[in-house]
Chain A
Amino acid sequence: MLKNDTHVGSPRSRVDGPAKVTGQATYAAEFTAPDLAHAYVVGSGIARGTITAIDATEAEAVPGVIKVFTHENRPGTAWFSYKYQDMVGPPGDPFRPLASDEIQFSDQPVALVVAESFDVARHAASLVRVCYEQQPHETDLSRARHDSYEPPRKRTGIAPPPKPRGDAVKAFGEAPVRVSAEYTIATEHHNPMEPHATTVIWDGGGKITVHDKTQGVQNSQAYVASVFGLSSDDVRVVSPYVGGGFGSGLRPQHQLFLAVMASLALERSVRLELTRQQMFSHVHRPETINVLSLGADRDGKLRSIQHQAVAATSRFEDHQEVVVNWSGLLYPAENVDLRYELAKLDTYSPGDMRAPGAPLGVFALESAMDELAIATGVDPVELRLRNYAERDENDDVPFSSKELRACYRQGAEQFGWSRRNPKPGSMREGRELIGWGMASGVWEANMMKTSARAVLGADGRLAISCATSDIGTGTYTILTQIAADALGLAMEDVTVELGDSSLPTSPVQGGSWTAASAGSAVMAACQTLRETLFKQAAKIDGSPLADAAIDDVAFSDGRIVLRTDAARSVLLADAVGAGGHDKVEAEEAAGPGLIGMMLPKSHASYTHAAVFVEVRIDEDLGVMRVTRVVNAVAAGRILNPKTARSQIIGGVVWGIGMAMHEETLTDHRLGRMMNHSLSEYHVPANADIQDIEVIFVEEHDDKTSPIGVKGLGEIGIVGTAAAIANAVHHATGKRIRSLPITIDKILAG
């Protein structure tokens, strides 16, 4: 374990910060090649039907156009659907661009124009004429929900709802206090700043280097090899920097297929960068409808929890998330019935977006808990304490650690919750109604098998490498801290290389597992390195450490030092040289069940949060401001309070967006998402964000990962929207159960 840490646990600025702010960090669409060709996608204007004719004559006549690919002339790729599956995709048949004349969703790619310049490709794309035979489509979940179904095949890694416990319907009917309502969350798009883009460098001889906007270079590599029948030696995916992922880069998106297809067919380098509008043609958070019913005693103790959710998916895949399970996890009740169903729409497949499923289900649950607090007259924090889960009743296992109680206490204290007048509409300043609301947050704490390499050179510099990505979360930085501490080096003496499929194996960066997983892998590799270095140091002729054991020494200031006598030490450089080579190298894997970890499901690992929010709402105009947020988080060991705080703030900001702004609007007659720009798809602006305070509650966890880390990339968003909705009710007495909470909903109430 980490001892005498200098860097771990201390706030450290991003090691990749200077490269990013000086433009030296290269993103997928910024790589180039001498003969780079540029591609542009032509999208479908209908949601369902067939292409009856496609005419690219005019487009091909534009000087500089190299080729227009359509379903009629595109090169053959793998036949079987399973070849298009990726590491994290759901059951179903993945979308295959230009595979046939069939249209499955609006803005589906129907042609790819490749030209000598981007401008020529874009212009020629506007000249491709497409005729369709339209078929009736369905994009409206409020209608499709009536044909919902339980997904027959489960998505790997996504726990289906637990079996019902007791008789929730009967217990609800008999409960003295009942609340039951429907809660909906709009479709949302990730909209990372960096649009999806792929630059394929034609290396010659059938070999390509692919720079893809991805959260998993090895996932993209495996997909490309499988789809195009290439050997994995012929495809290298290199994406050292990612301009925001949020889940949108977990699965290969269609621009990867199209760019590689064009590059292989034309035997030259090709870049395809999607426009902001085209970013609405693929992955999104599914619109989800929750029906939540709570039955309780008069003192608020829960007797019955029922949570049914219907989430949108595409016609061709069953995308699944964990939406309802949280309701059986956060609060104990003897009678629990959780159901999760899907409804098919003629859209692209939804996908994971920051804490997939959790903020949707938790919005419903934590809104309902607020309604129960009002129905019982119990303070919202007290209600949650009365229903505190000491054990994961879904899986009937203990928690690896759970300091949620401390989150409630410290968050409430910092926020000043005790000064809250519980009566809705009772707190005001001038024309502004003040609302104080709170909610719980919960998210999975996972560790995935990950490998890392550590190489110490004779110059005393340590090189760490791993295929995982840093999607902006701070992975480069925390891995540098861990490695520097392990070998007693300054952070400046450590370099970290990520995002290259040729590096040691890593899963996609997602699920908040990267700090725990890659961090543990780096720790393990450094541990092995320490042992090797110590052995080599001890066998140097006349070594001052000759009769020491490894536990007797510390790695500090570039030396291996005897703890009991600091005068006896060996320079790391000398220890390296003693091995007869100019470097010492170690590669190790870490994962659940490895290096002394307990087996899965002997315990449940989750991060928790308590979010407290103040809103101010103009009583006449309905204009709302979120003026204060306190988010108290229990996420195990905090490696870097600075980057960790940024993650929580980012999650809270997105939670504010989810609560008040974000909504992809679909014209159901056209089957088309219409607000496909950042001017009409609203995310919070600076003016919408005021005070956000983050508290990391002390939490010791020795079961989730060897380095005590639980991960915190997603927990920040989970409870925030519910806390805001609850604050709106406290301010106005209006319970708004569909997100986003816009001015018209506040006025109508």
Chain B
Amino acid sequence: MNRFSYHRASTVEDAIRALSAEPAARIIAGGTNLVDLMKYDVETPSTLVDVTRIEALKGIGETRGGGLRIGALVPNTTVAYDERVTERFPLLASAILAGATPQLRNAATTGGNLNQRTRCYYFNDKLTPCNKREPGSGCSAIGGLNRIHAILGASEHCIATHPSDMCVGLAALAAEIHIAGPAGERVIPFADYHRLPGDAPERDNTLQPGEMVVAVVLPEQAQAYAGHYSYLKLRDRLSYAFALVSVAAALEMEGGSIASARLALGGVAHKPWRRAEAEAALVGRPADEASFAVAADLLLEDALGHEHNAFKIDLARRAVIRALSQAAAGTPQSQTDKRIA
């Protein structure tokens, strides 16, 4: 862990000033990922900008449009058990509870969860080549240990995945990310927040220098999915493991057929994976396995396996079908009972 300065920001503006002053400054809130990375010398910030005292980043509130605004500092646990979330956006609560442990969720924040980094073995080990950590050094996972890596949207430079569960739920609900920066405030649709690795895998998201997340907004329309949803996470043990594959499925039902659908995959790409064609294919279809299989195939159409992770393609297909079945039946996957219904 390198030596760094510490700045306790009093306001968003203060934090932005501190971030803008030094390219290597980093925001710290819960620290559940950043501190580990600092111990590994993967992150070597010049300054830690502590945002935990900024009141403007706290709290959950209604938006004028009927949605819910979640401040960047709200702990994952608070979001997962907030009644407005569990009643109107239960998919998000379920996704959060599928991740990490109670202790981590207590400390981890909404903004931090968005910005957590990949758990690729090589990214976390500074004595190995990794384009994300050290651009141009090469990707060790390609041709190396890649069982937990991406099957969609990867590049020849990086096959890392985004590790978040919360973000898969946010992607399916088409949340908005509210950003503040030197040039003022802006809103990024969730789908455009994280990026694919391309030839710049060191960049996980589309934040510009000096910018920071101030809130996540759940749009009013996403409440339409409160009745038929499921978050299904498959992993190497029944708790406290990152997803091999996870699925956020949300349906709006009209009688026995599907009025609209949302589908996002986690653990398979550099960002939560959605595809408009897959969701569109479900609209107007009966909620049966044949419809779900069509959607799954469309969602996974461009999937590409590596030496150890090709199994994830078939696993994802099966998981999508099951999650959609759970959603259609109104029996979402429990995150406490590990039996998959």
Q: Which residues of A contact B241 (CB under 8 A)?
A: 679, 682, 685
A622–B238 CB distance below 8 A:
no
Does A618 lie within 8 Å of B238, measured CB to CB? Answer: no
Nearest chain B CB to A48 CB, angstrom units: 15
**What are 7 A-B pairs with beta-carbon distances under 8 A?**
A622-B315, A665-B147, A674-B125, A675-B145, A688-B239, A743-B244, A747-B314
Is A672's CB under 8 angstroms from B128's CB?
yes
Query: Which B-chain residue is minimally distant from A666 (CB atoms)?
Result: B145
Taking the closest CB of chain B, its distance from the CB of A137, in whole angstroms, is 14
B: residues with CB less than 8 A from A are: 1-3, 39-41, 119, 121-122, 124-125, 127-128, 140, 143-145, 147-148, 234, 236-242, 244, 311, 314-315, 318-319, 321-322, 338-341
Please measure, in the bound complex, the distance between the C-alpha atom of A71 and the C-alpha atom of B271, giving whole angstroms.
46
Assess the A621–B122 pair: CB atoms within 8 A: no
Instruction: Report A-chain residues with C-beta under 8 Å of the C-beta of B240.
Output: 685, 687
Report yes or no: A687 in contact with B125, Cβ–Cβ below 8 A: no
Contact A621 B318 (CB under 8 A): yes
- CB of A687 within 8 A of CB of B239, answer yes
How long is the Cα–Cα vector from A672 to B240 in the complex, in angstroms?
A: 25
Q: Does A661 contact B (CB under 8 A)?
A: yes
**Closest 7 interchain pairs by CB?**
A45-B127, A687-B239, A687-B238, A744-B311, A674-B121, A685-B239, A685-B240
Residue A541 CB within 8 A of the other chain: no
B1 and A748 within 8 A (CB): no
Given contacts A679-B119, A743-B315, contact A687 B340 (CB under 8 A): no
- What B residues does A682 contact at CB under 8 A? 236-237, 241
The chain A residue sitting closest to B318, CB to CB, is A620
Q: A665-B145, A685-B238 are in contact. List 13 more A-B contacts (CB 8 A).
A: A123-B2, A126-B2, A431-B341, A621-B322, A623-B340, A665-B147, A670-B144, A674-B128, A679-B119, A680-B121, A685-B237, A687-B239, A748-B311
Contact of A667 among B1, B3, B40, B145 (CB under 8 A): B145
B121 touches A431 (CB 8 A): no
Contact between chains at B319 and A669 (CB < 8 Å): no
Q: How far is the CB of B138 from the nearest CB of chain A, in Å? A: 11
Contacts of A277 in B (CB 8 A): 40, 125
Whether B144 pairs with A669 at a CB distance below 8 angstroms is yes
Contact indicator B239/A661 (Cβ below 8 Å): no
Measured between alpha carbons, how far is A582 from B84 in the docked complex, in Å? 73
Q: Report A-chain residues with C-beta under 8 Å of the C-beta of B39.
A: 122, 275
> B144 touching A743 by the CB < 8 A rule?
no
Q: Which of B238, B321, B338 has the most C-beta atoms of chain A within 10 angstroms of its own C-beta?
A: B238
A686 at the interface (CB under 8 A from B): yes
Q: Using Cβ atoms and an 8 Å threshold, which residues of chain A touch B311? A: 743-744, 747-748
The answer to whether A119 has its CB under 8 Å from any CB of chain B is yes
Which chain A residues in 731-746 approach chain B with CB under 8 Å?
742-744
**Chain A residues with a Cβ closer than 8 Å to the other chain, count:** 42
- Of A126, A616, A744, the residue contacting B41 (CB under 8 A) is A126
Question: In whole Å, how far is A431's beta carbon from the nearest beta carbon of chain B?
Answer: 7
| Cβ–Cβ contact B315 & A747, under 8 A | yes
**What's the minimum C-beta distance from B187 to chain A, rounded to whole angstroms?**
33
- Report the bound CA distance from A618 to B339 in whole Å: 8
Which residue in chain A gives the minimum CB-CB distance to B341?
Answer: A430
A45 to B234, CA, bound (A): 33
Complex Cα–Cα for A122 and B1 (A):
6
- The one of A616, A680, A687, A747 in contact with B119, judged by C-beta atoms closer than 8 angstroms, is A680
Choice from A275, A625, A677 contacting B338 with Cβ under 8 Å? A625
- Which A residues touch B148, using CB under 8 A? 680
Instruction: Name the residue on B nearest A120 (C-beta).
Output: B3
Q: Give the nearest-CB partner of B144 in chain A.
A: A667
Q: Is the CB of B322 within 8 A of A661?
A: no
Complex contacts, A742 vs chain B, CB 8 Å: 236
Inter-chain CA distance A195–B40, complex, in Å, is: 17
Shortest Cβ distance from A618 into B: residue: B340
Judging by beta carbons under 8 Å apart, are A432 and B339 in contact?
yes
Question: Which residues of chain B come closer than 8 Å to A700, judged between CB atoms?
Answer: none
- Taking the nearest CB of chain A, how far is it from the CB of B144, in angstroms? 5
Name the interface residues of A679-724: CB closer than 8 Å to any CB of B: 679-680, 682, 684-688
Residues of B within 8 A of A744 (CB): 147, 311, 315
A603 within 8 A of partner (CB): no
CA distance A667 to B124 in the complex (A): 14
B140 to chain A: which residues have CB within 8 Å? Answer: 667, 669-670
Give Cα A661 to B3, complex, Å: 37
Q: Is A635 an interface residue (CB 8 A)?
A: no
Chain B residue numbers with a CB within 8 Å of A660 are 237
* A676, CB-defined interface residue at 8 Å: yes
Per-residue 0/1 for A649-672: is the Cβ within 8 Å of any B Cβ (1 yes, 0 no)?
A: 000000000001100010101101
- Once the chains bind, are B121 and A623 in contact (CB under 8 Å)? no
A563 CB to closest chain B CB (Å) equals: 57
- Contact check, A45 vs B40: say whether CB atoms are below 8 A apart: no
List of B residues within 8 angstroms of A119 by Cβ: 1
Our pick among B41, B121, B314 for the contact of A675 (Cβ within 8 Å) is B121
Cβ–Cβ < 8 Å partners of B319 in chain A: 621
In the bound complex, CA of A708 to CA of B244 (Å) = 49
Among B40, B127, B147, B321, the most chain A Cβ lie within 10 Å of the Cβ of B127
Contact in complex: A621, B119 (CB < 8 Å): no
* Complex interface: chain A residues within 8 A of B239 (CB): 685-688
Within 554-585 of A, Cβ neighbours of B (below 8 Å) are at none
Beta-carbon contact of B340 and A431 below 8 Å: yes
Query: Please, how many angstroms separate the alpha-carbon atoms of A743 and B243 in the complex?
Result: 12
A620's nearest neighbour on chain B, judged by CB, is B318
Which residues of A sit under 8 angstroms from B322, Cβ to Cβ?
620-621
